[in-house]
Structure 1
Amino acid sequence: MPTSLPADPRQLSIHDYTYQLPPERIAPEPLPQRDQSRLLVYRQGVIQDQTFQGLPAELPTDALLVFNDTKVVRARLFCHKPTGGLIELFCLEPVAPHRAIEPAMQQTGECVWKCLVGNGKRWKSGPVTLEFTAQGHAATLTAERQETADGYSLIRFRWEPAALPFAEVLRGAGHLPLPPYLNREDTDVDAIRYQTVYAAQEGAVAAPTAGLHFSNQVLADLAQRGIQSVRVTLHVGAGTFQPVKADRMDGHAMHGEPISISAAVLRQLLAHAPRPIVAVGTTSLRSLESLYWLGVQAAQGQLTGDIVPHVGQWQPYEPGSKLATAASLQALLDFMLEQQLDTLHATTQLLIAPGYRFRVIQGLITNFHQPESTLLLLVAALVGPGWRQVYEHALANGYRFLSYGDSSLLLP
């Protein structure tokens, strides 16, 4: 453990953010009931054990909860060569004719996606196919590899009936992309439980797992207590599982992910200040903090109507704006109004690590993350050295870890 933090998170060593995670502590399956998972409450350095059903009573009564309403798509496709060999295609992000998730999911006839290819060395040339059922009718998907670079391939998909949107192709032909550490195939249970009950916007290839604990009953209890909520969208990418291989963080390239937020939500965030805002999951947190940095760009006249706004990995750590949070969010809202945008679509590579100063959120609901991961860096940035106390307590008291594991409420 470092004796002191470097002034710049780029100098951090990921090896200082690790712990021993026994394999048997990784939850292989969800519990029978979502809200029966355990909840570790960390409030100003004090830890309490709860169940997730008790979350509403643990939150500040004037808190605003922010949910990520992304929906996991069935992004794994098992195709066959003419000889019968199996080729796995893991759809990561659309390339053509649309790069944005929403129109790409509604594309008909054919499209190109960036994919990971399993058994790729056995796929020399020619198309691979997959027969499936969509909307009660027989359908066929054909995939051809166009080019390969940096471990990824561009795959051109064509399908019949051509009138089917690609979203229906994935629903009929695909499998849920469970986290690789679960090391098993998806089941009918996963089809329900690897989605949040409020999932709405298709496009993620991994679940925003903090939200998996919320049941309709917990949501009703929150409403009854008068705890308000809003929804943003960040489509979680496969990069969320990308290990940090560099010795120092300046050698790690953070994955980018698309985010969407409505003008109405921005107004709610502005109206709620200075009362606490609690993010449900690291993806909601990254979305909210990214809004601040987009607002800085708007205030500095860096946003234009013809380029998709983007938050860079190191933007918060460069010498720059000391803009107040409300002023930043208002500048972003003003930009949306000038551009006549009901919804802002942007991308973020924001890396939150110790040394980061939070502008928007005051608390976080999150699961327990892998050692030496960027998600653990985010937790350490929020609670400081107390992250070790949280994880040591969870390990010593039988908490279940990772995507299907238990939860924590961090109120530093």
Structure 2
Amino acid sequence: MNVDLFDFDLPPERIALRPASPRDSARLLVLRGDETRDATVADLPGLLRAGDLLVFNDTRVIPAQLEGRRGDAKIGATLHKREGPRRWRAFIRNAKRLRDGDRIDFGQGVTATAGDRAEDGSFALDFAGDEPVELLLERCGRMPLPPYIASKRPTDARDADDYQTMFADEPGAVAAPTAALHFTPELIAALDAAGIGHATLTLHVGAGTFLPVKAEDTDAHRMHAEWGRIDAATADHLNAVRAAGGRVIAVGTTSLRLIESAAGEDDVIRPFEGDTSIFITPGYRFKGVDGLITNFHLPRSTLFMLVSALMGLERMQAAYAHAIADGYRFYSYGDGSLLLP
């Protein structure tokens, strides 16, 4: 499909720079069949059915934004995928000053050696020492806010909490599964009381999620791989919910993409562990999920293509036009939507 079909104009003032407070006070655009309704995230217990299951991503964002020096050259690095115990793939700023074998000093006693450069321009970085890399990053790294926020204000202490979900448990993401940022313990308790369950899986979100689609046609776009895991007990739980007539509703596109990666053509979700580079565009048949809670996405992005595959392109174009006109807040710290085909 032509990528231009997924373009739209977004006024810059619609981009949220801070999350709603409290988190579940964020607005929620409900698309249910042909119905369009304005609500808030706190209304979810009354918008879903007893027996439904919300599936959250329990990945934890690491301080993956690094600033260092190679000799007299400033080098910026954004880690985006682990390749080994001490090796990470990273997008590099000032990459023209970096070569295979160069040593980068990130301060606080943290150094790394540049390895091979991939086709996408990213470098492998091998971190020196015996301490776990996560501990090194806590010393020298900072929270990797999305570029559409970082370009408007600096990262600060609030982001360390604001950019983690209440489910964050497994370190490894360099971007938050932002739909889950809206959830609070009080909202989960209300959902439990309404008979709406929840489960978790793990997908370590990479910085590739923010990369624009540069191809003119979706068939020419290559997705970055991300590592994920659904264990056997969780897969069995999801299948049992659907067999009993409940709906599996992914909270975030990361949860959805991992479930769909694990689902077979027989619509059975199986245990999964490894990389996924699934790319969902209109025409895709969903096999493992029945709905999605997600924020509002970038124009021409793979994520807007995904929601258009779920609900239909014209439906999502109209929904986004409504959200823009009605003052919804967009992107990672913005408002949410409940999409039920």
2:82–2:89 contact (8 Å) kept in structure 1: yes
Larger Rg: 1 or 2?
1
- Distance in 1, matches of 2:114 and 2:290, equals 46
Deviation at 1:358?
Answer: 1.1
Q: Classify 1:278/1:146 alpha carbon distance in 2 versus 1 (closer, same or farther; 3 Å).
A: closer
What TM-score do the two structures reach when normalised by structure 1?
0.77
Give the one of 392, 399, 408 matched to 2:321.
392
Deviation at 1:59?
Answer: 1.2
Q: Classify 1:147/1:263 alpha carbon distance in 2 versus 1 (closer, same or farther; 3 Å).
A: closer
Which residue identity lines up with residue 37 of structure 2 in the other structure?
Q
Identity value in percent: 43
Which residue identity lines up with residue 358 of structure 1 in the other structure?
F
Aligned residue for 1:186? Answer: 155
Which residue identity lines up with residue 291 of structure 1 in the other structure?
A
- Distance in 2, matches of 1:128 and 1:358, equals 44
What whole-Å deviation, never above 9, does each CA across 1:86-109 have from its counterpart, x for those lacking one? 3212112233xx2xxxxx3xxxxx
Gaps of 5+ in 2: none
Aligned residue for 2:281? Answer: 353
- Distance in 2, matches of 1:281 and 1:54, equals 18
Which portions of structure 1, spanning 4 or more consecutive aligned residues, are displaced by more than 6 angstroms? none
What whole-Å deviation, never above 9, does each CA across 1:173-194 have from its counterpart, x for those lacking one? 1111111111133211110011
Q: 5 Å matches for 1:285-324? A: 285-293=256-264, 323-324=265-266
What whole-Å deviation, never above 9, does each CA across 1:329-362 have from its counterpart, x for those lacking one? 3xx46xxxxxxxxxx4122111111111111211
- Distance in 1, matches of 2:323 and 2:170, equals 32
- Distance in 2, matches of 1:61 and 1:42, equals 19
2:52–2:195 contact (8 Å) kept in structure 1: no
- Distance in 2, matches of 1:286 and 1:40, equals 21
What TM-score do the two structures reach when normalised by structure 2?
0.93
Aligned residue for 1:40? Answer: 29
Does residue 172 of structure 2 align to residue 203 of structure 1? Answer: yes
Aligned residue for 1:130? Answer: 106
Aligned residue for 1:153? Answer: 123
Q: Classify 1:257/1:81 alpha carbon distance in 2 versus 1 (closer, same or farther; 3 Å).
A: closer
Q: 5 Å matches for 1:183-262? A: 183=151, 184-262=153-231
2:57–2:202 contact (8 Å) kept in structure 1: yes
Give the one of 248, 272, 286 matched to 1:277.
248
2:77–2:91 contact (8 Å) kept in structure 1: yes
Q: Classify 1:324/1:147 alpha carbon distance in 2 versus 1 (closer, same or farther; 3 Å).
A: closer
2:104–2:114 contact (8 Å) kept in structure 1: no
- Name the SS for the 2:128 alignment partner: strand
Aligned residue for 1:117? Answer: 92
What whole-Å deviation, never above 9, does each CA across 1:130-168 have from its counterpart, x for those lacking one? 333xxxxxxx11122233343112222214xx3x21111
Gaps of 5+ in 1: 1-11, 99-103, 105-110, 133-139, 294-322, 334-343
Does residue 133 of structure 2 align to residue 166 of structure 1? Answer: yes
Which residue identity lines up with residue 106 of structure 2 in the other structure?
L
Q: Classify 1:349/1:128 alpha carbon distance in 2 versus 1 (closer, same or farther; 3 Å).
A: closer
2:298–2:304 contact (8 Å) kept in structure 1: yes
What whole-Å deviation, never above 9, does each CA across 1:297-348 have from its counterpart, x for those lacking one? xxxxxxxxxxxxxxxxxxxxxxxxxx432xx43xx46xxxxxxxxxx41221
- Name the SS for the 2:9 alignment partner: coil
- Name the SS for the 1:398 alignment partner: coil
Q: 5 Å matches for 1:317-356? A: 323-325=265-267, 328-329=268-269, 332=270, 344-356=272-284
- Name the SS for the 2:36 alignment partner: strand
Deviation at 1:398?
Answer: 0.4
Does residue 51 of structure 2 align to residue 62 of structure 1? Answer: yes
Q: Classify 1:396/1:168 alpha carbon distance in 2 versus 1 (closer, same or farther; 3 Å).
A: same
- Distance in 1, matches of 2:281 and 2:96, equals 38
Aligned residue for 1:94? Answer: 82
State the aligned residue count.
334
- Distance in 1, matches of 2:256 and 2:78, equals 26
Deviation at 1:399?
Answer: 0.1
Aligned residue for 1:341? Answer: none
- Distance in 2, matches of 1:120 and 1:345, equals 32
- Distance in 1, matches of 2:125 and 2:201, equals 30
Kindly report the root-mean-square deviation, in angstroms, between the aligned alpha carbons of the 2 structures: 1.7
